Chain A
Amino acid sequence: DVKVTQSSRYLVKRTGEKVFLECVQDMDHENMFWYRQDPGLGLRLIYFSYDVKMKEKGDIPEGYSVSREKKERFSLILESASTNQTSMYLCASSLPTGTGFYEQYFGPGTRLTVT
């Protein structure tokens, strides 16, 4: 059973703070993703990674960066948190396309509030 875990379920930070959101998967998946989920906007892709030390911008990368030093771990970094980054953040992982059944497995989410 695939497990994707996120370091915190709830997080409250102040404007201007540097914030780290951690995601770990235990299925040796190559691909990992960070989304934010907002009512009325659905899920929007922030960054994704196909392999260690690789990263690709998604649709809304501004204000965010990522780090993937190990295959199982993908970190999302808010360099200077702002109130408009208050959201639910979802991490996901998957096998690469071409391996057969393609599915993204999601973590439980981190609800971040920036005050």
Chain B
Amino acid sequence: AQRVTQPEKLLSVFKGAPVELKCNYSYSGSPELFWYVQYSRQRLQLLLRHISRESIKGFTADLNKGETSFHLKKPFAQEEDSAMYYCALSPWDKLIFGTGTRLQVFP
């Protein structure tokens, strides 16, 4: 079955602390994986995708096929990072989303 698991509903950290949002997936082929973010009162938008291997707003995510994981990391959290984060798997033209993790960054 194709599935995306985000085990944490809420992650709370203080400004300057490292952040890791966990994502595990289940997929039999070669997946395309994404992180989407939704800031308060804004629309859902793409944060990054695994094949681009880039850092966006200080966030990075590495695909680990052995552990079937695609965790999102940032070394130093900022208050403006507070948002809802969704991991998504694309088997073809569709996206399969995880249940999301709300990140709260306290000053």
Chain A positions near chain B (C-beta within 8 angstroms) = 4, 31, 33, 35, 40-45, 48, 50, 58, 90, 92, 94, 96-97, 102-104, 106-109
Contacts and interface: CB of A to CB of B under 8 A. Distances in A.
A48 B93 CA distance: 10
B46 interface: yes
Given A106-B44, A109-B43, A58 B94 contact: yes
A33 B63 CA distance: 26
Contacts, number: 48
Contacts of A4: 43
A109 B43 CA distance: 7
A97 B44 contact: no
B99 interface: yes
A43 to B, nearest CB: 4
Closest 5 A-B residue pairs measured CB to CB?
A: A42-B99, A43-B97, A106-B44, A42-B97, A106-B43
A50 B94 CA distance: 10
Given A42-B86, A43-B86, A106-B45, A50 B93 contact: yes
Contacts of A42: 6, 86, 97-100
Contacts of A45: 94-96
Interface string B65-107: 0000000000000000000001000101111111110000000
